[in-house]
Amino acid sequence: SAVISQKPSRDICQRGTSLTIQCQVDSQVTMMFWYRQQPGQSLTLIATANQGSEATYESGFVIDKFPISRPNLTFSTLTVSNMSPEDSSIYLCSVRLSGNTIYFGEGSWLTVV
Amino acid sequence: DAKTTQPTSMDCAEGRAANLPCNHSTISGNEYVYWYRQIHSQGPQYIIHGLKNNETNEMASLIITEDRKSSTLILPHATLRDTAVYYCIVRVAEKTSYDKVIFGPGTSLSVIP
């Protein structure tokens, strides 16, 4: 497995502001993924972030709202821009390890007021 | 869309085996069955995966039918700490540059004292 650290673990933000969530892995990984989990719902894939290329966004998610950086093989950031209360969710980072299994971080709990 | 269907919820008596079914009738020959669980307020935890043979690890057993159209996750002696949402997922076996894990709603398992 891998140690996947997310920061912040929780935050309360004002609407209209932006928040950047960091994901740090203790080993080099090719593929990283960002998910959103709205209250009481399952996980929804936002985008796939590969090092050295642009992130690939799923239907319903756009780069202007959720810009992603992937500067190296152990780190990625997801920014939630111009937040509204509907963005209140858990944001989860996940990685695919060399054995092809995908592991998840503990998530970043975001509340927009 | 998720390629699996699971019951919405199940109960299990503490100490008994919990058998969680999953239907994946459209699974392809190169797709594995993966199971994750999510305990409240935590990120999803990897449990087990398999291709066509039954698998067992320290957490659970995975029974896959011969036609691979369904599977059952077995927690042999359920404890209160096993109360969680359990997700059954199919994804490609090979490492590819295109890979993503799509979550369905999962099964909410309640272990009852």
pLDDT tens for residues A51-71? 878 899 999 999 999 999 999
**pLDDT computed for residue A30 by the predictor:** 84
Q: Which of B92, B87, B76 is nearest to B22 (CA)?
A: B87
Please report the number of interchain residue pairs, chain A to chain B, with beta-carbon separation below 8 angstroms: 49
The answer to whether the Cβ–Cβ distance between B46 and A33 falls below 8 Å is no
Residue A21 has pLDDT above 80, yes or no: yes
Q: Which of A112, A88, A92, A111 is nearest to A103 (CA)?
A: A92
Out of A1, A4, A33, name the one closest to residue B100 (CB): A33
Inter-CA distances, A23 with A8, A27, A49, B51, B58, Å:
9, 12, 11, 30, 28
The answer to whether the Cβ–Cβ distance between B44 and A104 falls below 8 Å is yes
**Helix%, strand%, coil% for chain B, nearest 5:** 5, 45, 50
Out of A1, A100, A107, name the one closest to residue B95 (CB): A100
**pLDDT computed for residue B101 by the predictor:** 81
Smallest CA–CA distance, residue B49 to chain A, in Å, is 9
**pLDDT computed for residue A24 by the predictor:** 97
Task: Confirm if A58 and A45 have CB atoms less than 8 A apart.
Answer: yes
CB contact A97 to B (< 8 Å):
no
CA–CA dist B29, B26 (Å, integer): 10
Adjacent-strand bridge partners of A91: A36, A108
How large is the average pLDDT for residues A9-36?
95
Comparing alpha-carbon positions, the chain A residue that sits nearest to B85 is A42
Q: Which of B48, B8, B2 is nearest to B27 (CA)?
A: B2
Residue A76 has pLDDT above 90, yes or no: yes
